[in-house]
Structure 1
Amino acid sequence: MTKRSLGISLYPDHSNLDDDKRYLVQANRYGFTRIFMSMLEVSEGKEKVAKKFSDLIGFAKDLGFSTTLDIAPNIFDQLGISYDDLDFFAELGADAIRLDQGFDGQKEALLSYNPQNLNIELNMSNDVAYLDNILSYSANQPFIYGCHNFYPQRGTGLPLDFFISASKRFKNHGIETAAFITSQVGNIGPWDINDGLPTLEMHRDLPIEVQAKHLFATNLVDCVIIGNAYASEDELKKLSEINRYQLVFNVELSEDINQVEREILLDNQHVRRGDITDLVIRSTEVRKKYKHNDNPVSQSSHDFKRGDIVIGNDNFGKYKNELQVVLQDHTDERKNKVAQISQTELFLLDYVGPWNKFKFRR
């Protein structure tokens, strides 16, 4: 099982080398470790391109980044090289190359044994038996990675159900996976159209950290990469602060929350009970820990909506101080509303299953 990571994208054909290096230093400071680097053209000539890319990749490597080169098929013709000899990319310092186009399966399997030991990254955004075909030719599986596409044109990103189905094909084989999220300020991408660069269409206008939380919560993505450049420092910071292994919901506290409720909410590891219900997500261990703490009935409304967080008050008997996240609207005087999950994160409640761990932050 691979540890989860964060990545950025660079487009040296469309950007300034010094700006790219500044971005790398900043991303490194916030714990990013992977680069998706686009090599779309070599119009400047092989030597000049090689120098530019090797300089940038070498700089990144010294900071601890691994680099995947995204190579358009026409590059091979322009460079006068073939897929049978990957020396050029190894000499640039790349760790992986991404195959933008598929072959017959046998070809990819053979490529995975390349003497340069480059990882071969496959396109995950096709829900077909592409990977199974490659593996059936006895591919060198540890050197095969998966990465989704991104979609610069609004309305063309993947729908969620298709994304899940396509991703499972790779995850079921234990292949390391990646997908893209989009910065809301970055304006550099591979093409002249840039309405953001997410994998999932539903992410296009969401805050960047919510996109990442969602991808990690699916348990289908190991590396989350910002598709466009350059993300703001604030976006990098927010991504660095997310928990990659459990959902941590951003909440707004109720005005009349008391000290015990605040502690129950913010200072505890919450676990959804295994015997789940449709009405609420129940975190029951806290009620044992706080069973001797009083919790008076609050004066505010006891009509609850989806995303409200409630805690049992003194009138709730043995369920006093149990924390619940409301899934379906209901009314109950025995519970106090203590907080509310932010509107943009409500859809993430679908990813809290039996025994799943979760936390809250304000």
Structure 2
Amino acid sequence: MRLGASAYLAHGPLAGPTFEAAAAAGATLAFTSLHIPEDSPSGARAAATALVSAAASSGLSVVADVSPNTARLLGDSPWDFLRSIGVARVRIDFGIPVPEILSIAAVMPIALNASTLRAADLAPFADLDVELIHNFYPREWTGLALPSVASSVAVARSFGWRVGAFIAGDSVRRGPLGEGLPTVEGHRTMPPLFQALELVDAGVDDVYVGDPALTDHSWSRLGSFVRDNVVVLDGTAATGVHPEVVEALAVPDRNRPDAAEAMIRLEHSRERFARLPLPEVGGQPRPAGSVTVQVASAGRYCGEVAIILRDLPADDRVALLGMVDVSLPSVGARSLTTRFR
């Protein structure tokens, strides 16, 4: 997965800090839109130049969203201008006819709209340097279903192209609505890491943060995934759990290859936890998001740690260690670690 950050002309002061944080998390891409109706043409060229320069300073390659409104913002010869300031690729959003798109593609690489175009629409561009990038959806309840994104991936693969999509931020959200900028509606209130995991599992190659800022915490969690392929799960320890157990939960492990339907069973946990000072009494409720361990009465299963994916009945052989976010998606065969507060 390639990771990208976004910045916009109306949020120019956020661009530098956002791009720096993104690059530290392993991002290599940046996104901006150059046809937002609320943006003023006054100073747009200078603002775009500064934004692209900030991205370049952080080592990010810029994709700029364009439409017929881009000429209103940037003036004559907008494509030559964008190439001259270092934009790597333009994404054709809407309203530009095929002959003009082909002429733009002669100037610089293009991306096409994965949310609205079908295979027949893409055929004229089959031999070009093209990527597909989905829309984001600023208004609540208007985003796509995740299966629609997966379908677009199949189309893209038939042309040999990459697919990009957006996740919503959890810090500054772009106006005028401030409801997040995800591609998938179900992601609008989900932690950024979990949004990215679901997109990658649907086959998406490039994940852009649509909003102009993320919390430092979320950049850190995305960075662990992008750089190290480790999913960090944040949670709260149950009362009385020994510090050695909490420390051991922070060691990366992975789901067993014979993955259970109801829980993630940490593959190497028994050998690491069986000799630790585990709780002596089990039988607590096990709602989705529980982190549990098998206690001594479980015999040879003592020490096995699990993350519960759906509500399960209490079991006297199983003790609660803490809770993690219940919106946890599938982690597949990835390494994961739990950080308890």
Query: Does the 8 A contact of 2:253 with 2:267 survive in 1?
Result: no
- C-alpha contact (below 8 Å) 1:127/1:166 kept by paired residues: no
8 Å CA contact retained: 2:293, 2:304: yes
Indicate conservation of the 8 Å contact 2:282/2:315, yes or no.
no
Determine the C-alpha separation between the residues in 2 that align with 1:342 and 1:56.
35
Distance change >3 Å, CA 163–CA 173, structure 1 → 2? same
Question: Which of 5, 8, 24 is the aligned partner of 2:5?
Answer: 8
Normalising by structure 1, we get a TM-score of: 0.76
- Which residues in structure 2 correspond to 1:183-332 (within 5 Å)? 183-189=169-175, 192-216=176-200, 218=201, 220-229=203-212, 231=213, 234=216, 237-238=219-220, 241-244=223-226, 245-258=229-242, 261-270=245-254, 272-289=255-272, 293=275, 298-328=280-310, 329-332=312-315
Residue-by-residue CA offset, 1:55-106 (whole Å, 9 max, x unaligned): 4323432331211111112435884559xxx433211211001011387879
- In structure 2, the CA distance between the partners of 1:260 and 1:311, relative to structure 1 (3 Å rule), is farther
2:335 maps to 357
User: In the alignment, which residue of structure 2 is the partner of 1:156?
Assistant: 142
Aligned partner letter, 1:360: T
Q: Give identity over the alignment, percent.
A: 24
Q: Unpaired segments of 5 or more residues in structure 2?
A: none
Shift of 1:111: 6.0
Amino acid at match of 1:304: R
Post-superposition Cα deviations, 1:192-241, rounded to whole Å, max 9, x if no partner, equal 4443222111222334444344434x252333322233x25546644554
Q: Which residue of 2 aligns with 1:89?
A: 82
Matched, 1:71 2:57: no
1:106, 1:134 within 8 Å by CA — same for their partners in 2?
A: no
Letter in 1 for 2:296: D
Q: What do the CA deviations read for 1:279-333 (whole angstroms, capped 9, x no partner)?
A: 4332233324555x26666335344222222222222222222222223413322
Aligned position for 2:155:
169
Alpha carbons of 1:319 and 1:219: their partners in 2 closer, same or farther (altered >3 Å)?
Answer: same
Superposed CA offset, 1:321-357 (max 9, x none): 22222234133222222222223x34x1xx134x443
Gaps of 5+ in 1: none
2:119 corresponds to:
129
Length, aligned pairs only: 334
**Whole-Å separation in 2 of the counterparts to 1:166 and 1:124:** 6
Amino acid at match of 1:10: A
Q: Secondary structure at the match of 2:265?
A: strand
Structure-2 separation of matches of 1:92 and 1:52:
11
